[in-house]
Structure 1
Amino acid sequence: MKNFTSAFKLTARYAFMGLLSLSLFSSCKKDDPYNFEETLHSRVNLINASPDAPAARLYVDDVLRTPNGVNFGEASGYYDTFSGTQDVIIKSASGEATLATTNAGFDVETSYTYMLIGQNSALSILAVNDDLAAPASGKAKIRYVNASPNSSGVTLNNGSTVLVGAQNYRGVAPTVEVNAGNYTLRAYNTGAFPSAAATVNLESGKIYTVYAKGLVGGTGNSAFSVGVFTNK
């Protein structure tokens, strides 16, 4: 009986130590917002598509996820974040000014692009659930987004050939697969006002986000143009 009691106490002690270690481990992970080991997580990418906005960074539940300032027409690339429903905040690179906020759900092992769009008086966030499934052999996959705030009915063309039909401001078209090769991409506002051309080589097996940016009739940094981000 004495041996049984001792064994029981020893087992209970080890069980308690195990639970304590697990609790401390979980607490440490919770206290470290950049530790994703053995956790359910997602990925986020920031594109700054606002011609008026300063360099920006993206936060999820007040945790900085894209460490480098992202200028107009640039992207941060993907960074890990925890899954679940959380607040998404885009701030100036200095962290002093909040530019736009939203609330979003993050599915496990899913990638998202958050676009800062609009003009200074009405900045907002456009969320895109990125489709990173590989295209067919010899193909590239593109998703087209209209992020030009004063546009309407903007198509995406390769020269004079329409690749993606008209999208209004904030429109996110379904992904399409195209033959790999060199393209001269233009956005056409209501079929009349063309953007500046973006000459790109769409590689086989690659996935791209292509977006109309700037202002129809704009000049300089605000010129109506096409941005291209390589998702994968």
Structure 2
Amino acid sequence: MKILNKNIFFIILIIGYLSACTAPPEKTYLGTASLRIVNAVPERYNLTFFINDTSKTPIALNFSDSLAYQNVNAGTSLIYTKASGNTVNRSDLTFLFLPKENYTVFIAGKISKDSLSYISFKDSLNNPTQGKAKVRFINTSYNSSSLDALFSNRTTDSVYNYGNIGFRAGSNYLEFRPGSYYIKIKQTGGKTVLVNKTAIDIKAGKIYTLWAKGLIKGTTNFNLDVGILNDN
């Protein structure tokens, strides 16, 4: 009788262990998210972006091209990229789209170096303070370790308000009054101005993403520059 009880106890332990090791069911998400796709790969490839084997780029994207926001199903999805019709090596990964969130995904890195990567951000589309605009800065420049950016409408300003933004990183949104602005970019800790872009007009109530694109000392078509995205 004691042996039987021991066997029953042992079986219960095994069942309990197996139950504990069973993976919990994957959470189901309902609804949709919004997605904007940007080609930040500084090479001559036409890129198409796929979610669960469905193309989300009806027109292939050249370098610095972007698409408007589109709805995608919320939940965990498989994403990958094709370059000129061929699936990019190691470009597939799972991505969780949360319902009612807005995302920008930059396809970045260098395909020729087998180093394609995704830079994703949740976009805050809440209205700025009345009478102001919101602006953030994102670094997608593959060969820049870290960048500083000065965004201003006063030529006397010298303090870089976006500092130490590494590759694949971005700042929070900052608020500015409407007007015509310029942006200067240098490597963090450096003195040489790599980009000096002027006549950037921002309007009250609008939200903008400034993104460093291209390469430091790149060729003419892929030299470091600043792109501007309208978030709303």
> Same fold per TM (> 0.5)?
yes
Q: Which runs of 5+ in 2 are unaligned?
A: 1-29, 153-157
Match of 2:55 among 47, 51, 64: 64
Deviations 1:135-185 (A, max 9, x none): 111211122111111112301213644231121111121121122211112
The corresponding residue for 1:210 is 210
1: CA distance between counterparts of 2:196 and 2:81? Answer: 29
The corresponding residue for 1:147 is 140
- 1:1-232 alignment runs, 5 A limit: 40-52=31-43, 54-92=45-83, 94-98=84-88, 100-120=91-111, 121=113, 122-158=115-151, 160-190=158-188, 191-199=190-198, 200-232=200-232
Query: Could you tell me the TM-score, scaled by structure 1's length?
Result: 0.77
Query: Could you tell me the TM-score, scaled by structure 2's length?
Result: 0.77
Residues 60 and 193 (structure 1), Cα distance of their counterparts in 2 relative to 1, 3 Å cut: farther
Residues 107 and 187 (structure 1), Cα distance of their counterparts in 2 relative to 1, 3 Å cut: same
Identity of counterpart residues, as a percentage?
Answer: 29
Please tell me whether the aligned partners of residues 75 and 96 of structure 2 are also in contact (alpha carbons under 8 angstroms).
Answer: yes
2: CA distance between counterparts of 1:129 and 1:60? Answer: 18
The corresponding residue for 1:18 is none
Please tell me whether the aligned partners of residues 189 and 216 of structure 1 are also in contact (alpha carbons under 8 angstroms).
Answer: no
Residues 198 and 71 (structure 1), Cα distance of their counterparts in 2 relative to 1, 3 Å cut: farther
Q: Secondary structure at the match of 2:221?
A: helix
In the alignment, residue 217 of structure 2 is paired with which amino acid?
A: G
Higher mean alpha-carbon deviation, 42-51 vs 193-202, is at 193-202
1: CA distance between counterparts of 2:64 and 2:196? Answer: 14
Please tell me whether the aligned partners of residues 57 and 69 of structure 1 are also in contact (alpha carbons under 8 angstroms).
Answer: yes
1: CA distance between counterparts of 2:78 and 2:41? Answer: 20
More helix by share: 1
Residues 70 and 193 (structure 1), Cα distance of their counterparts in 2 relative to 1, 3 Å cut: farther
The corresponding residue for 1:8 is none
In the alignment, residue 146 of structure 1 is paired with which amino acid?
A: N
Per-residue deviation, 1:114? 0.7
Higher mean alpha-carbon deviation, 157-166 vs 142-151, is at 157-166
Number of aligned residues: 193
1: CA distance between counterparts of 2:66 and 2:33? Answer: 17
Q: Which runs of 5+ in 1 are unaligned?
A: 1-38
